[in-house]
Amino acid sequence: MMPVGSSVPHDSAVRHVSGAALYIDDLPEPRDLLHAYIRLSEHAHARVTRLDTTAVAAMPGVAAVMSAGDVPGVNDVGPAFPGDPIFADGLVEYHGQSLFAVAADSIALARQAAMAAVVEYEPLPAILTIDDALAAAFYVLPSQTMERGDAAAALAGAPHRLSGRVDVGGQEHFYLEGQVAMAIPTEGGEMLVHSSTQHPTEVQHLVARSLKLPDHAVICETRRMGGGFGGKESQASLIAVVAALLAQRTGRPVKLRLDRDDDMVLTGKRHDFRIDYDVGFGDDGLIHGIDFMFAGRCGMSPDLSGAINDRAMFHADNCYFLENARIVSHRCKTHTVSNTAFRGFGGPQGMMAIEYAIDEIARYLGVDPLAVRKRNFYGTTDRNVTPYRMTVEDNIVHELVDTLARTSDYAGRRADVAAFNAANRWVKRGLALTPLKFGISFTLTHMNQAGALVHVYTDGSVRLNHGGTEMGQGLYIKVAQVVAAEFGIAVDRVKITATTTDKVPNTSPTAASSGADLNGMAARAAARTIRERMASVLGVAPEDAVFADGRVTGGGKDMTFAELARAAHRARVSLSSTGYYSTPKLIYDAATLTGRPFFYFAYGAAVAEVEVDTLTGEYRTRRVDILHDCGASLNPAIDIGQIEGGFVQGMGWLTSEELWWDSAGRLRTHAPSTYKIPTSRDVPADFRVALFDGGPNREDTIYRSKAVGEPPLMLGIAVFHALKDAVAATGDGTTPRFDSPATPERVLMAIEAQRRKAGV
């Protein structure tokens, strides 16, 4: 089996199914381990007039209590900007904010003790909604505007014009493993932190900064996460830092694991958005001009909201050429939890905006939305410049959508749905095809770099380390496949090791779908360095040594990989190397929001068919067809897994997953009993997923593959639009404003509005 391009199982699959894969809470507990608990604020916005922890410290089993004044270094874990206090310092800005932490002999004792504190507040007026924040111009970061052409003039001159608003809900990550860290003090005042994080380097740096240690005195290690989805990019830091602070204070190891409710209340989620659109178009549905206002709810601090809202703007075009576009983005501050990275990172909200506007155009014109979509697709040689001035050089959306429309029998099923709806009064079906184009690269250009460390041992086995983290996405096995392919050995000869900041330093987060692209290239660079040295031992030029099937041949010699490794060692040639990669071609000006922020684009499309009970608003997804572009896939099984999982997560975001805050700013959906992610029954029995055979990535990525982590989430938008289509079928073919998530309640209320409009 060729290591690259084959469906090698996840490296931990056997351990997953036998319970032998260790997550941080499963690690053998060190002697004298303490358990930490964070006490959360009970107001959305208030001055803390009294915080008396005397009684806490006096409780049995308590080893330490720490609040804002006890932090030796900086009391802030903001990843890009300050604003995320470790412990509130006299002011709380969301319900559930960290006030102080306790370390005790057990989690039960720590929790009990924490509740013994006296906390008094002076409540302040709270801004809880996007509308309130907009009205007060209350922002965490300055507003941004992206413009191309003259949107105002195009709108004024367009034959047709529609404007409206749609609200897009947020989303809880619901990684199955909650946030957790274990900090272990080591000799010389150093700190080893096991953290369930997508960003070990940032955890290392923030632990060092808060403990007032140099970076070199802190190691952060991450073997695996039980899911991340962006929720452990910046949000893991607070947990790790609090554990480390208490460990430093007590000189004992400290574990901090949030229970599900505290996790959901304390940590950030996907930004909900208000989207206002004003679009002008011709009789054929071609968009002449468009004006978007995006208002993203950032919560109480900037966190990563700048880049997230930027990415929403970068995806307001999706697959469509917007010759005259103006996109204004407000980064709203509210007294709610600070929203954060979540698979897609603002892109999904931007895509929802344009897809919604296009659907409205089609319904206004009375034509199939797919026709309007296709009418507006980017061209391949012209009409191919984005609102941020990047030329789309790799457009494959035409072939991809045409193929999917054919394989899914879109046209035939459109007729079937119409016939069904004509014959059924109370049950209606809906059908939609939505495409996606997603920009691959961190828009913060300097983050597009990675490092790796590869050792070859004299028995020919290989030990691999790199800066990427494993959260289930299969990054570790993909990079191991790359290294195995470079050395021409079997994948199981490559030992995968935990990500740790003392092996590969100064890494970027495993985010932006970049894990395999960046770390695969870095690991390949390391392997190639070693390979070149091994070729020299063979006495041939690097290109004349063939590494294949566990053997190396060249210069008339033929030996096993292990034999050559031994020979290299005897010849005093190093068998260890680092590898480094930085993404080429990126030129981007953050001040003007123009340039080439992305190395390339990933594409995909989905067709969804739903059936709605128009008396209750309940619905089922009958069938979904997906065609997705992974370039030359490194591992088709892993990529299919990302596509299916991403689609279902996106479907959940837009259907059953509803975050609900009460009027006091308390999140009331903070556990799976109230927050409903899809279950197996929600996945259509007829679910057809295929990789698009669109050829290798035209850019020189790792084995010409394409990133796959985030893009498939946006395939779920098809389900939302199929529901909108079914709602339209209950009336005159249009719909009232239809916000997401499209819960049965929203579906029914939209249908009832249609009925009232039609007078039935």
Give catalytic residue positions: 710
Among 13, 135, 153, 418, binds another protein (CB under 8 A): 13
Stretch of 43-51, 387-395, 503-511, 658-666 lying at the interface with another protein (CB under 8 A): 658-666
For 267-424, where are the alpha helices, taking DSSP H only? 305-314, 347-365, 369-376, 397-407, 410-423
Cβ neighbourhood burial of 718 (10 Å; 0-12, 13-18, 19+): buried
Q: Which of 168, 638, 707, 729 binds another protein (CB under 8 A)?
A: 638
Phi then psi dihedrals of residue 758, to 5 deg: -85, -5
Please report, as residue ranges, which positions from 173 to 192 form the binding site for another protein (by CB under 8 A). 173-178
Residue 16 contacts another protein per CB under 8 A = yes
Give the total of residues touching another protein (CB under 8 A).
84
Q: Does 760 bind another protein (CB under 8 A)?
A: no
Residues in 74-133 at the binding interface with another protein, rule: CB under 8 A: 108, 111-112
Q: Which residue's CB is nearer to another protein, number 360 or number 658? A: 658
Residue 387 CB, nearest approach to another protein (Å): 32
Which residues lie closer than 8 Å to 94 by C-beta, 6 or more apart?
Answer: 41, 44, 45, 299, 300, 335, 336, 337, 338, 665
Q: Give the range of 185-193, 307-315, 507-515, 639-647 binding another protein by CB under 8 A.
A: 639-647
- 30 in contact with another protein (CB under 8 A): no
C-beta closer to another protein: residue 293 or 748: 748
656 forms part of the interface with another protein (CB under 8 A): yes
Shorter beta-carbon distance to another protein: residue 148 or 746: 746
Structure tokens at 319: 């697959």
Least distance (Å) from another protein to the CB of residue 232? 11
Order of strands, sheet of 494-496, starting from the edge strand that comes earlier in the sequence = 494-496, 462-466, 449-456, 576-582
User: What is the distance between the alpha carbons of residues 154 and 165, in angstroms, rounded to a whole number?
Assistant: 20
Q: Confirm or reject binding of residue 744 to another protein (CB under 8 A).
A: yes
Is position 759 an interface residue for another protein (rule: CB under 8 A)?
no
What x/- string results for residues 440 through 479 when contact with another protein is judged by CB under 8 A? -------------------------------xxxx-----
Burial class for 161, CB neighbours closer than 10 Å (0-12, 13-18, 19+): middle
CB of 25 vs another protein, minimal distance in Å: 7
User: C-alpha 130: how far from its chain's center?
Assistant: 22
Secondary structure (3-state) at 212: coil
Residue from 615, 700, 732, 758 touching another protein (CB under 8 A): that is 615
Contact assessment for residue 309 and residue 292, using Cβ atoms and an 8 Å cutoff: no
The reply on whether position 17 binds another protein by CB under 8 A is: yes
Can you tell me which of 216, 589, 616, 700 binds another protein, judged by CB under 8 A?
616
Burial pattern 624-660, b for ≥16 Cβ within 10 A else e, equals bbbbbbbbbbbbeebbbbbbbbbbbbbbbbbbbbbbe
Is 737 a binding residue for another protein by CB under 8 A? The answer is: no
- CA–CA separation, 150 vs 345, rounded Å? 28
Identity at 161, one-letter amino acid code: R
Contact 21, 224 (CB under 8 A): yes
Check residue 645 for interaction with another protein (CB under 8 A).
yes
Between residue 286 and residue 345, which ones bind another protein under the rule CB under 8 A? Answer: none
Positions in 51-70 near another protein (CB under 8 A): none
Pairing of strands 34-40, 546-548: unpaired
CB atoms within 10 A of CB 375: 18
Which of residues 570 and 660 has its CB atom nearest to another protein in the complex? 660
Q: Does 208 bind another protein (CB under 8 A)?
A: no
**Quick one: which of 35, 39, 36, 34 has its CA closest to 262?**
39
Number of H helices, E strands in the chain: 19, 29
Q: According to the binding rule CB under 8 A, does residue 7 interact with another protein?
A: yes
d(Cα 758, Cα 760) in Å, to the nearest integer? 6
Instruction: Tell me if 424 contacts another protein by CB under 8 A.
Output: no
Helix (H, G, I), strand (E, B) or coil at 361: helix
Q: Shortest Cβ distance from residue 663 to another protein (Å)?
A: 10
Q: Would you give the binding string for another protein spanning residues 217-246, x where CB under 8 A is met?
A: -------xxxxxx-----------------
Check residue 515 for interaction with another protein (CB under 8 A): no
Residue type, 256: L
What number of CA atoms fall less than 13 Å from residue 127's CA on the CB side?
18
Does position 647 interact with another protein (CB under 8 A)? The reply is: yes
**C-beta of 721: minimal distance to another protein in Å?**
19
As a whole number of Å, the end-to-end CA separation of the chain is 63
- In this chain, which stretch among 440-448, 525-533, 575-583, 616-624 interacts with another protein, using CB under 8 A? 616-624
| Segment interacting with another protein, rule: CB under 8 A, options 344-352, 443-451, 555-563, 640-648 | 640-648
Give whichever of 75 and 112 is closer to another protein, judged by the CB atom.
112
For another protein, the closer of residues 227 and 550 by Cβ is 227
DSSP string, 224-266: --S--TTTTTSTHHHHHHHHHHHHHHHSS-EEEE--HHHHHHH
668: contact with another protein by CB under 8 A: yes
Closer residue to another protein (CB): 276 or 613: 613
Shortest Cβ 678–another protein spacing (Å)? 7
Based on the shown chain and the rule CB under 8 A, indicate whether residue 541 belongs to the binding site for another protein. Answer: no
Cβ–Cβ under 8 Å, residues 324 and 289: yes
749 binds another protein (CB under 8 A): yes
Residues 250-279, mask of contacts with another protein (x by CB under 8 A): ---------xxx------------------
Tokens for 374? Answer: 């296709």
How far apart are alpha carbons 71 and 704 in whole angstroms? 47
Nearest residue (CB) to another protein, 195 versus 329: 195
Token pair recorded at residue 264: 């959901």
Our CB check for another protein shows the closer of 486 and 609 to be: 609
Applying CB under 8 A, does 37 fall inside the site for another protein? Answer: no
Among the listed ranges 153-161, 239-247, 478-486, 677-685, the one in contact with another protein (CB under 8 A) is: 677-685
